[in-house]
Amino acid sequence: MENSVLKFGGTSVGDFDKIREIAVSLRDRAILGEKLIVVVSAMGGTTDELLSNVKSLSPAPKDDHIALLVTTGEQQTISYLSIVLENLGVKTKAMTGFQAGIKTFGSHMKSRISGVDKACLLSALQENDVLVVAGFQGVNEQNEITALGRGGSDTTAVAIAASCGMPCEIYTDVDGVYATDPRVYEQAKRIYSISYDEMMEMSALGAGVLETRSIEIAKNHSIPLYLGKTLSEEEGTWIMQETKVLERKAVIGAALDEDIIHATIFEPRAESTLIFDLFKKFDEESINVDMISQMSGSKGFQLSFTVKDAESVRLDQIFAETRLFHPDMSLTMETGYCKVSIIGSGMRDMSGVASTAFMALNDSGIRFYQTTTSEISISYVVDKEHGKGAVESLAAAFDL
Amino acid sequence: MENSVLKFGGTSVGDFDKIREIAVSLRDRAILGEKLIVVVSAMGGTTDELLSNVKSLSPAPKDDHIALLVTTGEQQTISYLSIVLENLGVKTKAMTGFQAGIKTFGSHMKSRISGVDKACLLSALQENDVLVVAGFQGVNEQNEITALGRGGSDTTAVAIAASCGMPCEIYTDVDGVYATDPRVYEQAKRIYSISYDEMMEMSALGAGVLETRSIEIAKNHSIPLYLGKTLSEEEGTWIMQETKVLERKAVIGAALDEDIIHATIFEPRAESTLIFDLFKKFDEESINVDMISQMSGSKGFQLSFTVKDAESVRLDQIFAETRLFHPDMSLTMETGYCKVSIIGSGMRDMSGVASTAFMALNDSGIRFYQTTTSEISISYVVDKEHGKGAVESLAAAFDL
């Protein structure tokens, strides 16, 4: 019987009834001889309550003290779940981040995992049926408790799975990965297996079910990742090595990223430092620039890219500063666009994907302003009001 | 400027307003150049709330899981207090039990401290004005989080003070140690300085302000202990080496222990194993037997002792079992008594204490049924209705 890592998020452990139901399902697996490492978040609402207390105490609290406070949330969940499991006759050990040897680096409220104490976990698992580990937390080199950044508990689970060489099942309130967002395209099909690269591309392009970082760790250690709905009989999605995905399709999914700005810059010079000057500032301001197309010729230098709508003010400021050194730069910056993408590792060796996609958009009378491609994806900038229609026609064309 | 360890209990940090007030008082001391290690308990009520959750989840939860849960209470207090202190401009580091290197042994909910990481604390204190340490908790050799037994946070504070060689100030809702309980004798005087031995004797004899264990640690390391009221201007009590106590009195205090059983056993044999058989059982049942008087002669063997009223059922059972092997044992077991004690290390070298005490009781017409003495105390068994009168006459005789 294989050992597994399971992760349950905050809503899955939102109250004691839910904790009891999860405990019963874990007991049923333990009875069959499985050994499980279960990663849990703070009970839904706990973290917000603690943070609101902090707000009442200080206008500018320090991150290390906040991290120390909020991590009590997961410590309480692991205690409660362990108490219920033991009551069901399951031999259980609860472990905080420091006890499980989750080593972190970086800022206290957005730390990243540098290592996991595999020996400690495996030896504890030998003596117990279930280990319950606090997600979202670890200790840094100074022995200070830190909270992980976005997707925290997922990363804890995947890092433990990678380190111990176990598959990792992540349970949330969605029942798997869909070929495209069912809110955009009702007939969207669920994907039962997908490769790491495709899933990373889908996450990066807006299908935000899992943080890219978690998928990357799983890929690097060839750990199968499962994504499914908590306590559901429905089959979710396995994310795995490309060669193990049985059903190969040229295009596996489509993603829609709404509310983007499309900017085009032109400078009438053959040799320009504009691109360096701009991207240095983007980098300093941590602005995420996407869909970069660049052309230069004898007439000058042209650059198109997209950013999220929310960045418009900071972008204005950067352009104003840049214009001081590039006075003859001309600029169009337009809102009201969205980005539609198709993803599939089959694109690598199946021909005709691009032409099928262009044709589908054309047949629906949807105009696209810019196109970029990666090895396993194609993205189009279209008018915002055509975003949904574009996804529908692409999903129909590729049977998503 | 001397460094100090301070301890605030659960009611002292019962709400955010109180935490703010304590933070201001710490800030005021830090401004004067003091470096402080502050030990705090869980906010009043928190532990009870967590334990009631446990009760709803399992009829027989395991101690290690309960300890893991309740220790989140102190972790939250240290976070909150540190956030407020930083907001007041005080450089603060918060430390849980494991971070402060509080090593423990024994059962998870009643563990004892085996050591403290002095180097870690002192180096953290160099870089900060105030260290805020979670009381009541530590980690055992298996790296498991444990809660300390009775008087937990006091022990944490005293153990840190002893290890770092600093005086220890313990703040509660009483304003010091009184010569006798002011609820029994209204005119009772506060004691401003008392020796370790006297304080231990007073604690053991029923003046339950501090656990004997804490005083013992302080004594072994010659650490001055202060006991005072939180945020009060009133001077409390210093507990210190006998040679440093300025005001020497023959008797420093009187204690009243109500609701005791007085038992007398007789066996008409010159050589009896009764005492061994009985005390073996007392020991097995962890029954605390007090005021033991034993006489034996040609007529037989006689033993008197007292126990708390609450033990009467278990005592009955032990006597019934013992009688099987000692059929001619006769027994009187009477309730309705109390124990009155006077304490003072001056008894060692000041004469006339016993006679003054006997006289005082006699003058008040109070009959006593048994008397025992230790090096620095005398205890009397009197009728329950005379307990208060006995304390009053002794307090008046010794100017307490």
The yes-or-no verdict on residue B271 having pLDDT over 80 is no
A74 is in an annotated binding site: yes
Q: Are residues B167 and B258 in the same domain?
A: no
For chain B, what percent of residues have pLDDT higher than 70?
Answer: 98
Q: Which residue has the higher pLDDT, B40 or B280?
A: B40
User: Does A380 lie at the interface with B, CB-CB under 8 angstroms?
Assistant: no
How many whole angstroms separate alpha carbon A254 and alpha carbon A398?
9
B69 → closest Cβ in A20, A76, A98: A76
Work out the average pLDDT over B1-30. 94
The yes-or-no verdict on residue A208 having pLDDT over 70 is no
What would the DSSP string read from start to end of B194-210? Answer: EEHHHHHHHHHTT-TTS
A172 is in an annotated binding site: yes
What pLDDT sits at residue B282? 87
B47 is in an annotated binding site: yes
ipTM of this predicted structure = 0.80
Work out the average pLDDT over B137-158. 92
Q: How many domains does chain B have?
A: 2
B74 is in an annotated binding site: yes
Task: Tell whether A209 is covered by a domain.
Answer: no
Pairing of strands B193-195, B237-240: parallel
Q: Do B79 and A98 touch (CB under 8 A)?
A: no
Torsional sign, CA A184, A185, A190, A191:
negative
Q: Are residues B285 and B138 in the same domain?
A: no
Distance of alpha carbon A60 from the chain centroid:
29
Alpha-carbon Rg for chain B in angstroms: 24
Task: Tell whether B201 is covered by a domain.
Answer: no
| Vertex B284: Cα angle to B279 and B285 (nearest 5) | 95
Task: Tell whether B179 is covered by a domain.
Answer: no
Give B161-175 pLDDT, tens digit per residue.
999 999 999 999 888
Task: Tell whether A42 is covered by a domain.
Answer: yes
Band of residue B247 on the pLDDT scale cut at 50, 70, 90: low
Give A52-92 pLDDT, tens digit per residue.
999 999 999 999 999 999 999 999 999 999 999 999 999 99
Task: Tell whether A213 is covered by a domain.
Answer: no
How many whole angstroms separate alpha carbon B53 and alpha carbon A80?
8
Work out the average pLDDT over B71-100. 97
What pLDDT sits at residue A207? 62
Q: Are residues A165 and A266 in the same domain?
A: no
Give B197-221 pLDDT, tens digit per residue.
899 888 877 666 788 888 999 999 9
Distances (CA, A) of A226 to A169, A239, B71: 4, 6, 34
Q: Do A76 and B72 touch (CB under 8 A)?
A: yes
Q: Are residues A11 and A157 in the same domain?
A: yes
The whole-chain average pLDDT of chain B stands at 90
Q: Are residues A10 and A151 in the same domain?
A: yes
Band of residue B222 on the pLDDT scale cut at 50, 70, 90: very high
In this structure, which amino acid lies at residue B363? D
What pLDDT sits at residue B52? 95
Q: Which chain B residues are within 8 Å of A83, Cβ to Cβ?
A: 54, 57-58, 61-62, 65-66, 69
How many whole angstroms separate alpha carbon B247 and alpha carbon B224?
16
What pLDDT sits at residue A140? 97
The yes-or-no verdict on residue A180 having pLDDT over 80 is yes
User: Does A11 lie at the interface with B, CB-CB under 8 angstroms?
Assistant: no
Give A283-303 pLDDT, tens digit per residue.
888 888 888 888 877 788 888
What pLDDT sits at residue B383? 93
What pLDDT sits at residue A288? 82
Rounded to the nearest 5°, which phi and psi values hold at B292? -80, 125
Band of residue B49 on the pLDDT scale cut at 50, 70, 90: very high
Give B227-239 pLDDT, tens digit per residue.
999 999 889 999 9
Band of residue B1 on the pLDDT scale cut at 50, 70, 90: low
Q: Do A87 and B58 touch (CB under 8 A)?
A: yes
B180 is in an annotated binding site: no
Which CATH number characterizes residue B339's domain?
A: 3.30.2130.10
Q: Which chain B residues are within 8 Å of A56, Cβ to Cβ?
A: 16
Q: Which of B65, B78, B123, B133 should one mutate to test binding to chain A, selecting the residue with the greatest count of A CBs within 10 A?
A: B65
Q: Are residues B12 and B160 in the same domain?
A: yes
Q: What is the domain extent for residue A97?
A: 4-173
What pLDDT sits at residue B206? 65
Q: Are residues A19 and A119 in the same domain?
A: yes
Using CB atoms within 10 Å of the CB of residue B187, give its burial: 0 to 12 exposed, 13 to 18 middle, 19+ buried. exposed
Of the ranges A178-187, A329-338, B58-67, B168-177, the best mean pLDDT one: B58-67
Task: Tell whether B375 is covered by a domain.
Answer: yes
Q: How far A332 CA lies from chain B's nearest CA (Å)?
A: 46
Task: Tell whether A197 is covered by a domain.
Answer: no
What pLDDT sits at residue B175? 87
Q: Which residue has the higher pLDDT, A182 or B389?
A: B389
Residue that terminates a domain, selected from B156, B173, B190 = B173
Band of residue A246 on the pLDDT scale cut at 50, 70, 90: low
The yes-or-no verdict on residue B354 having pLDDT over 70 is yes
Q: Are residues A163 and A263 in the same domain?
A: no
Q: Do A57 and B143 touch (CB under 8 A)?
A: no
Work out the average pLDDT over B330-348. 88
What pLDDT sits at residue A386? 93
Work out the average pLDDT over A358-381. 89
Q: Do B83 and A66 touch (CB under 8 A)?
A: yes
The yes-or-no verdict on residue B245 having pLDDT over 90 is no
What pLDDT sits at residue A71? 97
Q: Answer yes or no: are the C-beta atoms of B390 and B364 closer than 8 Å.
A: yes
Q: Do B83 and A65 touch (CB under 8 A)?
A: yes
What pLDDT sits at residue B60? 93
Work out the average pLDDT over A276-281. 87
What pLDDT sits at residue A77? 97
Q: Do A87 and B59 touch (CB under 8 A)?
A: yes
Rounded to the nearest 5°, which phi and psi values hold at A388? -60, -45
Element counts in chain A: helices (H) and strands (E): 11, 20
Q: How far A141 CA lies from chain B's nearest CA (Å)?
A: 12
The yes-or-no verdict on residue B380 having pLDDT over 70 is yes
What pLDDT sits at residue A247? 66
How many whole angstroms separate alpha carbon A212 and alpha carbon A210?
6
Q: How far B276 CA lies from chain A's nearest CA (Å)?
A: 41
Q: Are residues A138 and A22 in the same domain?
A: yes
Q: Are residues A268 and A160 in the same domain?
A: no
Residue that terminates a domain, selected from B145, B173, B201 = B173
Which CATH number characterizes residue B112's domain?
A: 3.40.1160.10
What pLDDT sits at residue A55? 95
- Strand-by-strand arrangement of the B92-95 sheet: B92-95, B130-134, B36-40, B4-8, B168-172, B225-229, B237-240, B193-195
Residue that terminates a domain, selected from A173, A204, A228 = A173
Q: Are residues B14 and B159 in the same domain?
A: yes
Pairing of strands B137-139, B145-147: antiparallel
Q: Are residues B148 and B286 in the same domain?
A: no
Rounded to the nearest 5°, which phi and psi values hold at B334? -120, 135
Of the ranges A92-101, A236-245, B235-244, the best mean pLDDT one: A92-101
Task: Tell whether B223 is covered by a domain.
Answer: no
Band of residue A309 on the pLDDT scale cut at 50, 70, 90: confident
What would the DSSP string read from start to end of B312-346? Answer: HHHHHHHHHHHHTT-TT-EEEEEEEEEEEEEE-GG
Residue A124's CB is within 10 A of a number of other CB atoms, namely 18
The yes-or-no verdict on residue B51 having pLDDT over 90 is yes
Work out the average pLDDT over B147-155. 86
How many whole angstroms separate alpha carbon A399 and alpha carbon A251?
9
A230 is in an annotated binding site: no
